Amino acid sequence: MRSLVLSYQVLVLEASSDIGGVWAANYMGYGLQVPWRTYQFPDFLWPEELRPLSDYPTGQQVQQYIRAYAEHFGLMRHIRLNSKVLRLRWHPGSCKWEAVYCDSAREKFCKVFVDFVTVCTGMYNNPLIPSYTMHAKDFVDTSVVHSRRVLIVGAGKTALECSLVASRTAASVTMLYRQAHWPMPRTVLGLNTKNLLFSRATPIMLPPYYVAGSTSRALDVVTRPLKRLFWRTMEGVIASKFGLHGELRPRVPMPGDLFYGGQVLEDGCVALAESDSYKSLWGEINSFVRNGVILQDGSFLPVDVVLYCTGYEKTYDYFDHDTRSQLGLQKDGLYLYRNCIPPGVPHLAFVGSEVATYSNILTQGLQALWLAEVLSDRVKLPSPAAMATDVRAQQRWRRKVIPPQRNRGAVLMLYGQQYHDQLLRDMSAQPRRKGLNLLAECFGAYTPEDYSELTAAEAHRVPASSRLGI
Shared domain check, 264 and 413: no
β-sheet bridge partners, residue 83: 103
The per-residue pLDDT for range 214-236, each reduced to its tens digit, is: 999 999 999 999 999 999 999 99
Q: Cβ–Cβ contacts within 10 Å for residue 65, how many?
A: 24
Q: Give the H or E element holding residue 69.
A: helix 59-72
Q: Cβ–Cβ contacts within 10 Å for residue 254, how many?
A: 17
Burial class (CB in 10 A: 0-12, 13-18, 19+), 316: middle
How many domains does the chain contain in total?
2
Shared domain check, 378 and 447: yes
Q: What is the C-alpha separation between 426 and 59, in angstroms, rounded? A: 34
Shared domain check, 304 and 230: yes
Coil, strand, or helix at residue 107?
coil
Q: What is the C-alpha separation between 139 and 150, in angstroms, rounded? A: 12
The residue range of the domain holding 151 is 127-312
The per-residue pLDDT for range 363-394, each reduced to its tens digit, is: 999 999 999 999 999 999 999 999 999 999 99
* Exposure letters 351-390 (e unless 16+ CB within 10 A, then b): bbbbbbbbbbbbbbbbbbbbbbbbbbeebeeeeeeebbeb
Provide the 8-state DSSP code for 31: B
Shared domain check, 278 and 145: yes
Shared domain check, 180 and 82: no
For residue 100, CA distances in Å to 262, 318, 350, 445 come to 37, 9, 18, 43
**Average pLDDT in the chain:** 87
* Exposure letters 15-49 (e unless 16+ CB within 10 A, then b): beeebbbbbbbbbbbbbbbbbbbbbbbbbbebeee
Alpha helices in 205-300 (DSSP H): 214-242, 254-257, 267-272
Q: Give the H or E element holding residue 9.
A: strand 9-10
The per-residue pLDDT for range 427-441, each reduced to its tens digit, is: 999 999 998 899 999
440: Cβ contacts below 8 Å, ≥ 6 apart: 434
Q: What is the C-alpha separation between 137 and 133, in angstroms, rounded? A: 12
Shared domain check, 144 and 281: yes
Could you tell me the pTM of the whole model? 0.86
Q: What is the C-alpha separation between 104 and 109, in angstroms, rounded? A: 8
CB 370 within 8 A of CB 379: yes
Q: What is the C-alpha separation between 2 and 462, in angstroms, rounded? A: 10
Domain boundary among 295, 312, 329: 312
Q: Give the H or E element holding residue 288.
A: strand 285-289
CB 335 within 8 A of CB 411: no
* Exposure letters 188-215 (e unless 16+ CB within 10 A, then b): beeeebbebbbbbebbbbbbbbbeeeee
Domain boundary among 280, 312, 344: 312
Shared domain check, 293 and 164: yes
For residue 325, CA distances in Å to 187, 239, 373, 417 come to 46, 45, 28, 31
Task: Show pLDDT as tens, one digit a residue, over the chain (470 residues).
Answer: 555 556 789 999 999 999 998 888 776 677 887 889 989 999 999 999 999 888 888 889 999 999 999 999 999 999 999 999 999 999 999 999 999 999 999 999 999 999 999 999 887 666 554 444 556 666 667 778 888 899 999 888 788 888 888 888 889 999 898 888 888 887 887 778 888 888 999 999 999 999 999 999 999 999 999 999 999 999 999 898 888 888 778 889 999 999 987 777 666 666 676 677 888 888 888 888 888 889 999 999 999 888 888 777 788 999 999 999 999 999 999 999 999 999 999 999 999 999 999 999 999 999 999 999 999 999 999 999 999 999 999 999 999 999 999 899 999 999 999 999 999 999 999 999 998 899 999 999 999 999 998 877 665 554 444 456 67
Shared domain check, 170 and 92: no
Q: Cβ–Cβ contacts within 10 Å for residue 216, how many?
A: 13
Q: Phi first, then psi: give them for residue 306, nearest 5 degrees.
A: -115, 125
Taking the mean position of all CA atoms in its chain, how far away is CA 417? 15
Q: What is the C-alpha separation between 381 and 443, in angstroms, rounded? A: 33
The CATH number given to whatever domain includes residue 415 is 3.50.50.60
Q: What is the C-alpha separation between 264 and 184, in angstroms, rounded? A: 5
For residue 65, CA distances in Å to 13, 48, 51, 68, 73 come to 21, 11, 9, 5, 13
Shared domain check, 330 and 437: yes
- Per-residue pLDDT, 464: 44
The per-residue pLDDT for range 272-322, each reduced to its tens digit, is: 766 778 888 888 888 888 888 899 999 999 998 888 887 777 889 999 999
Shared domain check, 290 and 336: no
Total H helices, total E strands in the chain: 14, 25
Burial class (CB in 10 A: 0-12, 13-18, 19+), 77: exposed
- Per-residue pLDDT, 140: 65
Shared domain check, 167 and 119: no
CB 337 within 8 A of CB 343: yes
Shared domain check, 191 and 213: yes
- Per-residue pLDDT, 133: 57
Domain boundary among 312, 346, 365: 312
DSSP string over 148-193 = SEEEEE--SHHHHHHHHHHHTTSSEEEEEESS---EEESEETTEEH
